Amino acid sequence: MKVLILGAGATGGYFGGRLFEAGRDVSFLVRERRAGLLRANGLVIRSPQGNARLKPPVYAVGGLHKKTFDLVILACKAYDLDSALTAISPALGPETMVLPLLNGLRHFETLDERFGAERILGGLCSIAVTLDSEGAVEHLSPMHVLRFGERDGRRTRRIDALDALFLGINADARPSENIVQALWEKWVMLASLAGMTCLMRANIGEIMAAPEGESLLLQMLDECTAVAAAHDCAPRAAVLDGTRKMLTETGSKFTASMLRDIESGGGQGGGRIEADHVVGDLITRAAGKNIATPLLRIAYTHLKAYEARLKRRK
């Protein structure tokens, strides 16, 4: 199976690198500057699960020349989705599958309209990963989870093919029987985590040490959970319990990558964040079901005010 990874940033670099490391036919499609770095230095992964220095094939955006692939994995940020779809268009043959690893659910509307719902799979990843100043992928914790599946829950031949593709790589990558449920569960966790850590500009342990910190963390989780439940995708009890424990762990240094983007100026993203995709769209879906989300709205206003300041500075 010929695989194209759109993006060799933290997420795409990690999972694409693990596929290439295992001998799969993997290429990367990246911006010209990133392509130059990868050609010069290779794809470097530093991880508690094992380091790697790889030399995968790299294409700069605009340089595919109608070379097609069996699978395209989208590992971009939500704010880059439109340009990403233009970039991958030449890579799509009649049977090409597209596996997005973006947060939330809003991107499916755009993908379905652009390429047809029949070729778009559901996918998600759970990993704490970033790029260092030299472009190496820094894996920050042992967790490296990737899930994929048909959005209607069927086990099809192409899911079997993807299962074989990911089998044996250095990552926890496997099919999900209900990828839409899993996407909602991740969204609840991420919106709660990003909403609170960005609003407070603090990690979980610091919020927990503050007056009312725990109660506000749990209020945010309750609001996000209510939105999922209104869409018939309430987090399963074990998943919700794990999220609650993660959000209230005393002394935890855990933060959302969105906060790291804000505090670092965003690295390659230039300070841009996924406020609309992760938080704003959840509020929109809540309003459609008459679900009150007062704390989530405060967090969203905070994020949009940051974006307004960032835009003014530019």
Whether pLDDT at 173 is above 60? yes
Within this chain, do residues 214 and 232 fall inside the same structural domain, yes or no? yes
Within this chain, do residues 267 and 137 fall inside the same structural domain, yes or no? no
Using pLDDT thresholds of 50, 70 and 90, give the confidence band for residue 65.
confident
Task: Out of 126, 152, 177, pick the residue that ends a domain.
Answer: 177
Three-class SS of residue 71?
Answer: strand
Within this chain, do residues 173 and 200 fall inside the same structural domain, yes or no? no
User: 181 with 233: CB under 8 angstroms?
Assistant: yes
Three-class SS of residue 248?
Answer: coil
Distance CA 139, CA 170 (A): 13
Q: For residue 3, how many C-alpha atoms fall within 13 Å in the half-sphere facing its CB?
A: 24
Distance CA 75, CA 11 (A): 6
The reported pLDDT for the residue numbered 271 is: 82
The reported pLDDT for the residue numbered 269 is: 55
112: tokens are 């379905």
Within this chain, do residues 289 and 242 fall inside the same structural domain, yes or no? yes
Within this chain, do residues 73 and 222 fall inside the same structural domain, yes or no? no
| Cα distances (Å, whole numbers) of residue 286 to 214, 230, 290, 297 | 23, 8, 6, 11
Whether pLDDT at 265 is above 90? no
The reported pLDDT for the residue numbered 261 is: 87
Task: Out of 153, 177, 201, pick the residue that ends a domain.
Answer: 177
The reported pLDDT for the residue numbered 311 is: 86
Using pLDDT thresholds of 50, 70 and 90, give the confidence band for residue 82.
very high
| Bridge partner residues of 174 (DSSP) | 147
Using pLDDT thresholds of 50, 70 and 90, give the confidence band for residue 267.
very low
Within this chain, do residues 69 and 164 fall inside the same structural domain, yes or no? yes
Q: What is the mean pLDDT of the chain?
A: 95
User: 117 with 292: CB under 8 angstroms?
Assistant: no
Whether pLDDT at 143 is above 80? yes
The CATH number given to whatever domain includes residue 64 is 3.40.50.720
186 is annotated as an active-site residue: yes
Within this chain, do residues 186 and 173 fall inside the same structural domain, yes or no? no
Nearest residue to 72 via CA among 128, 26, 135: 26
Which carries the bigger pLDDT value, residue 8 or residue 175? 175
Within this chain, do residues 156 and 277 fall inside the same structural domain, yes or no? no
Which pTM does this prediction carry?
0.94
**Structural domain range at position 43:** 2-177
Whether pLDDT at 83 is above 80? yes
The CATH number given to whatever domain includes residue 192 is 1.10.1040.10
Within this chain, do residues 118 and 261 fall inside the same structural domain, yes or no? no
Within this chain, do residues 195 and 166 fall inside the same structural domain, yes or no? no
Within this chain, do residues 144 and 22 fall inside the same structural domain, yes or no? yes
Using pLDDT thresholds of 50, 70 and 90, give the confidence band for residue 266.
very low
Q: Which of 2, 55, 66, 186 is catalytic?
A: 186
Within this chain, do residues 237 and 154 fall inside the same structural domain, yes or no? no
Whether pLDDT at 277 is above 80? yes
Number of separate domains in the chain = 2
Distance CA 173, CA 64 (A): 27
Task: Out of 177, 193, 213, pick the residue that ends a domain.
Answer: 177
User: 289 with 231: CB under 8 angstroms?
Assistant: yes
